[in-house]
Amino acid sequence: MSVDLLNLAAILAMAVATYATRLAGALAIGRLRLEGHAAAAIEAVPAAVLTAVIAPAAIATGPAETLAAIAAAIAATKLPLIGTVAVGVLAAILFRAVL
C-alpha cells in the first residue's frame, strides 16, 4: 500500500487546524468572565451539540431507535446520566425486539 503525500499532508493540516481551534477556544473561554445570559449560553453548548448529533440519527434510523430516544429524553428529566443511558439502551433493545 502506498501513501499519497498530498492526502497525508491534507489530513495532517486538518488535524492541526482542528486541535488549534479547540485549544484557542479553551484558552479564550478560560480568560473570560461570563455572567448571566452569556454563562447560561456557554453551559448549554454541550447539550445542544449532543442533541444535534443524536436527533438526526434517532429520527433517520427507524421507529425502534426513535422511540428509544424519546424514552431516554423523558428519563433524562428525572434520572442521572447513567440511568438515562440505561433507559435508552434497554428501550432500544426492547423496541427492536418488538417492532
Q: Where are the beta strands (DSSP E) in 39-88?
A: none
Q: Find how far residue 70's CA is from the centre of its chain.
A: 16
Predicted local distance difference test score (pLDDT) of residue 5:
92
Rounded Cα distance, 68 and 87, in Å:
8
**pLDDT, tens digit, 9 for 90 and up, residues 25-75:** 888 877 888 888 988 888 888 888 888 988 898 889 999 999 999 999 999
Predicted local distance difference test score (pLDDT) of residue 29:
78
pTM of the full structure = 0.57
Amino acid, res. 6:
L
Predicted local distance difference test score (pLDDT) of residue 46:
83
Average pLDDT of the segment spanning 87-94: 96
Q: Is the pLDDT of residue 93 over 90?
A: yes
